Amino acid sequence: MSIKDLLIVEIAEGVAGPCCALQYADLGARVIKIESPVGDRTREWGPPMTGDDAAIFAHLNRGKESVMLDLTRDDDRAKLDAILARADAVVAQNDPGEDGLPDWRAVARAHPQLVVCEIDDFGAAGPLSGFPGSELTVQAMSGFTRYVGDPGGAPCRVGFEIAGMAAAMNAYQAIAAGIWHRKRSGSAQYVRVSALNSLLSMKTILLIAQGGDVDEWKGFHLNGPHWPADTGWPTRDGQVTFDFRADQYDDWVAFCAKMGLGHLKDHPDYKDWRSTVHTGDRRFVYGEPYRQVFATMTSDEVNAAVNDAGGTSLKYHTYGEVLAHPQVQILDPLVDVPDESPGARQQVGSPFRYVGEPRTTQYARAPRLGEHTDAVLAEFAAAPAGRRRAAAGGGA
Amino acid sequence: MTGPLKGLRVLDASMGAVGPWAGVLLGQLGADVIKLESPQGDFIRVVMPAKRGLGTTYISMNFNKSGLVLDLKKPEDRAKAHALAADADIFIENFRPGVADRIGVGYAELSRLNPRLIYASASGFGPKGPMVKIGATDPHLQPFTGSCSVNGEAGGKMQSWRWYGHFDCTTAMCITEGVLSALIERETTGRGKLIQVTMIEAAMALQRVRMSEHLAGMTPKPMGNAVTYLVPDQAFDTKDRPLAVTASSRREWRALCRVLGRPELADDPRFARNPDRVKNREALIPILQEIFAKSSAGFWLDRLQRAKVPAALFTSFDEFRHNRHYLENEMLTIFETKEWGTLTVAGVPWRFEKTPGALRPGTPPGGKTSEILARGWAAVGA
């Protein structure tokens, strides 16, 4: 059993489910994406568009085959069932507002070889069970919208898909662990992942401190949601980070002297010098002398001055800048995809790699809606007789 | 409550959060996990805030683990670590480049002792290149990887998060993916692998949706609570408080228009499809905002939920910690411990029907050293 031997069926839209299956496709698994006649909603999540579909769709669905089925129809449900009967896992993330949705627990019972991973937004129990969510609503409900923006101002979202990606990564883990367990125990199983729980799980590092009863409250960012927006340290042409570690007092003193701030080391407000740099609430007040100096310098000049003194200063990069950075070029995080549209030919690859093994460089472009319907249905209609019969569409 | 990975053994020599959270994830999935520390200890022990003298980050990043302290600079302790590694399935480290080899727990050494060992090596910037010597932490990686360029108000400065740890935990999620994939591969090959994960690549993967816009030629800009590629997907002001509302599909858009009493908007050629609404955002949003302002957030929330349109209040821990929905889903778990008092953490993120797995507090640092030295792996686990 290898990842390359796996057949993963994806009946999912948006970010979480498709991104989970994408990572299996990246490692060589076969991924069949089942789409309704309307298609995955992310085909319309743009501009930017790459051809007829949005760039977001092209990037989350490379290397997959698209089969169009109308699951409100009995004959199409039977076709899905024939595919599931030979699959290793299904990633299911249905729109709770649609008709004809399979009961995924029943599907798992009908197909004992199939790991069924159902993803939802808010969880299987409780008053919000069965309601659809979104990236923004899950962020809002897990408190992440308090970590950016101005406290007291309009709510602000974290600008990238932390809820969708948390659920995608947990779903990937659920399927991999389920497949490994199936090999050991002989039986597959149903497993559920919710975006809200996934995002809260990633927040355990904070929840345990928020839970209260801590020894003291200063330090480690605990006042976070009440500080102003964190924009780092402004320079003449941008923003930078600025840090000396706690064991670098002498370096900090030398740096201050060089910057014309030699008086700080003797000032009582700077006795706790470390709290005046890097992150933390005191730097908003006591960071002013550094800010005045940095405002006269370029980001490159501040980076050089701090790093030469032994500290750490990094630029606030745009996407263009980070992708062009020499360190990122060495890691080479992008992969090539032979898409007709230039906007989809470079995409973000797998976040982990096996050292000493060649990386996959050949990826098929994302499929058109239903592009593989005929070929896949012909292949699975010819499935060996005698396979377990099952109702993939129990209906709700 | 055994998890799907019952019987697997993880020797976790990592520090901080990046590696340790991967150990917690594997532990929640049912693996036996040893937290291996030097006598100086994981630096995160002293990071504030603390409970009963131990950093909360240490406590949370070392759930499900049995603590072991060894001094790998001493040959006799190194031999003990090697004996544990010889019977382990997974080894996790995030030492600075070169350190693992120097103290005798590098991949070459451990894979020679145990060819089945899956060895995960995590770092900020990778093993080579101009940035290797920089000690990368979450608040450094956020701005470096461009993530701050999509946070904040329209036209404003780039913003970091005021609370940190998410990029650490994302990297740990990627380590866990790599380890689980390698386990499946090992079933065929009988051999382990060396897995390399960097915080940079994990951060790229985390931002892959926004990166796709950039790579397609339209670099995303911060828009406060809204987003470039989807409309409507933002906060609306109501009579009392802001409400998050999204229509991400044709069905949701049609249902939203019905709830707002403006069903004709759904077929208006300016707004019919999301790409149309993105282009005509400035015409559409004031129409919707005017309607939302007429009633309270609760009024709209109730109607939108019944119509299956995503909507939510902006909330915080102090509000949701007692919310019935979170509790009924066991999304929050509360432990009473004798060492650290009450601990509130999130529930396990996967709900396996047959092998649920469980979260449980770890031991204090080095808390199982003598048992592990006496009985090896048999001393670990429930």
ipTM of this complex: 0.98
pLDDT at A224: 65
Given CB atoms, is B147 within the 8 Å cutoff of chain A?
A: yes
pLDDT of residue B380: 95
Q: Does the CB of B249 have a partner CB in chain A at under 8 Å?
A: yes
Rounded mean pLDDT of A85-90?
98
What residues of chain A lie within 8 A of the CB of B251, using their CB?
95, 97-98
Q: Are A366 and A53 contacting, i.e. CB atoms less than 8 angstroms apart?
A: yes
First to last CA, chain A: 35
Q: What CATH architecture is B9-206+350-379? A: 3-Layer(aba) Sandwich (3.40)
- Phi, psi angles (nearest 5°) of residue A49: -105, 150
pLDDT recorded at residue A388: 40
Domain boundaries defined on chain B: 9-206+350-379, 225-347
Model confidence band, residue A386 (pLDDT cutoffs 50, 70, 90) = very low
Rounded CA-CA distance A328/A260 in Å is 34
> In angstroms, what CA-CA distances link B63 with B58, B332, B351?
9, 15, 18
Residue A387 has pLDDT above 50, yes or no: no
In this prediction, residues A21-49 reach a mean pLDDT of: 97
**Beta-carbon separation of B140 and A97 below 8 A:** no
The two tokens of residue A114 are 């199939």
Rounded to an integer, what distance in angstroms lies between the CA atom of residue A376 and that of residue A380? 6
Give the minimum alpha-carbon distance from B204 to chain A in angstroms, rounded to a whole number: 7
Q: How near does any CA of chain B get to the CA of A123, in Å?
A: 6
Q: Would the CB atoms of B233 and A206 count as touching at under 8 Å?
A: no
Query: Assign residue A39 a region: left if phi > 0, alpha if psi is -120 to 50, beta otherwise?
Result: left
Q: Are B244 and A140 within 8 A, CB to CB?
A: yes
List the single residue in B188, B211, B251 with the smallest CB-CB distance to A1.
B188
* Predicted confidence (pLDDT) per residue in A274-330, tens digit: 889 987 778 888 999 999 999 999 999 999 999 999 999 999 999 999 999 999 999
With b for 16 or more beta-carbon neighbours within 10 A and e for fewer, the A282-311 pattern comes to bbeebbebbeebbeebebebbbebbeebeb
User: Using an 8 Å Cβ cutoff, are A178 and A191 in contact?
Assistant: yes
Q: Which residue of A has its CA nearest to B58?
A: A205
Q: What domains are there in chain A, each with its CATH number?
A: 3-203+331-381 (3.40.50.10540), 233-308 (no CATH)
CB–CB contact A1 B212 (8 Å) = no
B347·A197 Cβ contact <8 A: yes
Instruction: Answer whether A284 touches B (CB < 8 Å).
Output: no
Task: Tell whether the model's pLDDT for residue B221 goes beyond 80.
Answer: yes
Burial string for B357-382 (b: 16+ CB within 10 Å, else e) reads bbbebbbbbbbbbeebbeebbebbbe
C-alpha span between B168 and B176 (Å, rounded): 13
Closest CB to B150 among A160, A229, A350: A160
Q: Which residue has better confidence, A90 or A277?
A: A90
Mean of pLDDT values over A45-57: 97
The answer to which of A127-141, A239-253, B132-146, B251-265 has the lowest mean pLDDT is B132-146
Predicted confidence (pLDDT) at residue A394 exceeds the cutoff of 50: no
Q: Average of pLDDT values for A48-52?
A: 96
Q: What's residue A385's pLDDT?
A: 44
Q: Are the beta carbons of B308 and A96 separated by less than 8 Å?
A: yes
> What is the reported pTM?
0.96
Q: What pLDDT score was predicted for residue A383?
A: 53
CB of B2 within 8 Å of any CB in chain A?
Answer: no
pLDDT on residue B1: 62
User: Considering only alpha carbons, which residue of chain B is nearest residue A163?
Assistant: B206
pLDDT at A384 over 70: no
Residue ranges in B33-133 assigned as alpha helix (H): 56-60, 75-86, 99-102, 107-113
Residue B270 has pLDDT above 70, yes or no: yes
Confidence of residue A390 (pLDDT cuts 50, 70, 90): very low
Across the interface, of B204, B314, B342, the residue whose CB is closest to A211 is B342
The answer to whether A56 contacts B229, with C-beta atoms less than 8 Å apart, is yes
Q: Residue B85: which residues within 8 A CB-CB, separation 6 or more?
A: B11, B91, B105, B110, B113, B114, B117
B36: three-class secondary structure by DSSP: strand
**Residue contact B312–A141, C-beta within 8 A:** yes
Candidates A137, A194, A196, A345, partner chain B, best to mutate (most B CBs within 10 A) = A137
CA atoms of A104 and B163, how far apart (whole Å): 37
- The sign one gets for the Cα dihedral B372, B376, B378, B382 is positive
Q: Quick one: pLDDT at residue A216?
A: 67
pLDDT band at B139 (very low <50, low <70, confident <90, very high): very high
Q: Residues of A with CB below 8 A from B93's CB?
A: none
CATH (one of 3.30.1360.200, 3.40.50.2020, 3.40.50.1000, 3.30.1540.10) for B225-347: 3.30.1540.10
- Average pLDDT along chain A: 92
- Report how many Cβ contacts below 8 Å link chain A to chain B: 539
When CB atoms are compared, the residue of B5, B150, B350 closest to A170 is B350
The set of residues, in sequence order, having a beta carbon less than 8 Å from that of B306 and lying 6+ positions away, is: none
For A145-169, the pLDDT digits (tens) are 989 998 888 999 999 999 999 999 9
pLDDT band with cut points at 50, 70 and 90 for residue A396: very low
Percent of chain A with pLDDT over 70: 93
> How far is A87 from chain B, CA to nearest CA, in Å?
16
Per residue in B191-212, pLDDT tens? 999 999 999 999 999 999 999 9
Q: Which residue's structure tokens are 């594997």?
A: B26
The whole-angstrom separation of Cα B214 and Cα A119 is: 28
Name the E strands within A217-268.
233-234, 239-240
Which residues on B lie below 8 Å from A227 (Cβ)?
162
Note the pLDDT of residue A392: 39
CA dihedral A318, A320, A322, A326 (to 10 degrees): -150
Q: Can you state the angle between helices B199-206 and B208-215, rounded to 10 degrees?
A: 80
**Pick from B47, B320, B324: which is nearest to A143 by CB?**
B320
**Residue B235 and residue A154: Cβ atoms within 8 Å?**
yes
Does residue A203 surpass a pLDDT of 50?
A: yes
- Find the mean pLDDT for residues B109-127: 97
DSSP per residue over B239-260, as a string? Answer: SSSEEEEE--SHHHHHHHHHHT
Percent of chain B with pLDDT over 70: 99
**Do residues B126 and B133 make contact, with C-beta atoms less than 8 angstroms apart?**
no
Mean pLDDT of B127-152: 92
